[in-house]
Amino acid sequence: MLEVKETGLQSMLEKAISEAKENHTARMISMTKKVNKTNPLLFIEAGKKLSVDRTFWSSTSENFSIAGIGCAHEINAKSNRMEEAEEAWQKLRDEAIIHNPYKTSGTGLVTMGGMSFDPLMQKTSLWKNFSHLSLTIPEMLLTQSDDNCYLTTNVKVNADDQAAELAQRLNKMERMLLNPSINLPGEVGIEMKQEIDPETWKQTVTYATDYIKQNYAKKIVLARKLFVKLSDEAAVSSVLKKLIEQQPNSYVFAFERNGDCFLGASPERLVKQENDEVLSTCLAGTAPRGKTKEEDDRIAHSLLYDEKNRSEHDFVVKMIRQSMEHYCRAVNVPDKPVIYPLKNLQHLYTPVTAVLNERYSIFDIIERLHPTPALGGVPRDESLAFIREHEQLDRGWYGAPVGWMDSNRNGEFAVAIRSGLIQGDKASLFAGCGIVQDSNPDEEYKETGIKFLPMLSVLGGGNHESH
């Protein structure tokens, strides 16, 4: 990683072009500057005019967001996907020419993206635009951290590029994105909801409980899909706005690939890295919110002392602790969970902190943690084998790690739950729940119905009849 003090875009481009000629290879340059406060959602909406893919990440409780437009470079990986991705990211970082006088997380060279839940699962046409692992370095990146805004321009230059022409194009793009004379589009409504074969799904729950009773597994997480037809094409920026407003304490994300957009609001952090410090959180065990404070407190109390939910939660805590101990030192786990409230649901919550040992990276932690017992089951291999054979669903990126990382060893990945894949005026929503030996198929079906609500409400309400 070559840190440069040069601040003029054109002179940086000239330097990179001359190095590309010398080394007969393309060079990535990344240049960050402070800009006036800009609404990241208007930035995302303005990017639509360019007909390029857009990426978005927001940690609503921390007043932090990253909005990306276009793609200066993409990392794709298939077989040993973590190893391949880490190698490619390391190489890109090492060879890039970076100008970033700020040490703010999410500035400098940043990559954003995600991966599929299970790379061994047969991919269907629904997820044709999303590879098993895809990380994008956006061409233009707006980072909002507290009250400060930063713009990063990333561009890959070749030996035959013209610095003046490139600079002109990038400056024009910047002006358009930072001064959008637009409003966010209006909201859409839901015309029709279609449950996908409910009775077959309930039957699968019964198979899972039988499988568990025979001691092949302790817990299996089963997901299902809800198909939604919208009144018009959904505007990503407007859906994101509603998710941010309605889902506090969540990570709001969007990843576009060739016009299809996977987005959601996940309360579940997988791992956060700040230099050597890492933080993972266990969010397992779910109950609805109450209509009054008294009812809410009563539900929270019974969730805290409910045997099924506590044992489900303890599975996950134990697994996270063991995973962290593999790569970290000073692993710290509280004795018992607390309640983590969201708009429609409340969960049991335990944070796990640690210090990353040398030689290891966020990729190692992700590989070790995913899928957590909250999304796969226990033991991992047996539950995944059951899911592959019986779930009849291509989860795609649902339930998988999505997030970002920067060239200063900061990053954060969440588990992509409470999410959906939007394709024009259609959406496929996903929800799952943990099956144990005494699970009731009708109750589990009802629980997944509650978990669809965050996405249904931002797409036009959750009260329409299913067909």
Q: Which of 14, 187, 256, 268 is catalytic?
A: 268
Phi-psi region of 129 (alpha: psi -120 to 50; beta: other; left: phi over 0): alpha
268 is catalytic: yes
Same domain (yes/no): 199, 161: no
Amino acid, res. 132? H
- Point out the domain boundary residue: 123, 150, 178: 178
Same domain (yes/no): 33, 173: yes
- Point out the domain boundary residue: 178, 204, 238: 178
Closest among 52, 420, 71 to 258, alpha carbons compared: 52
Amino acid, res. 38? T
| Count of the separate structural domains present in the chain | 2
Range(s) of the domain holding residue 230: 190-458
83 annotated to bind ligand: no
Query: How far apart are alpha carbons 405 and 112 in whole angstroms?
Result: 7
Same domain (yes/no): 391, 367: yes
Same domain (yes/no): 195, 331: yes
- pTM comes to 0.93
pLDDT tens sequence for the chain (467 residues) = 666 565 588 888 888 888 888 888 889 999 999 999 999 999 999 999 999 999 999 998 889 999 999 999 999 988 789 999 999 999 999 999 999 999 899 999 999 999 999 999 888 999 999 999 999 999 999 999 989 999 999 999 988 989 899 999 999 999 999 987 888 998 899 999 999 999 999 999 999 999 999 999 999 999 999 999 999 999 999 999 999 999 888 999 999 999 999 999 998 899 999 999 999 998 888 899 999 999 999 999 999 999 988 987 887 898 899 999 999 999 999 999 999 998 888 999 999 999 999 999 999 999 999 998 889 998 999 999 999 999 989 999 999 999 999 999 999 999 999 999 999 999 999 999 999 999 999 999 999 999 999 999 999 864 443 33
Residue 250 structure tokens: 């969540």
Residue 185 lies in a domain: no
Question: Crossing angle, helix 441-458 and helix 198-213, to 10 degrees?
Answer: 130
219 is catalytic: yes
Query: How far apart are alpha carbons 69 and 71 in whole angstroms?
Result: 7
Q: Which of 15, 156, 218, 219 is catalytic?
A: 219
Same domain (yes/no): 170, 194: no
382 annotated to bind ligand: no
Query: How far apart are alpha carbons 76 and 85 in whole angstroms?
Result: 7
Residue 203 structure tokens: 């039957």
Residue 184 lies in a domain: no
Same domain (yes/no): 244, 112: no
Query: How far apart are alpha carbons 395 and 385 in whole angstroms?
Result: 14
The pairing of strands 97-99 and 27-35 is parallel
Query: How far apart are alpha carbons 200 and 53 in whole angstroms?
Result: 36
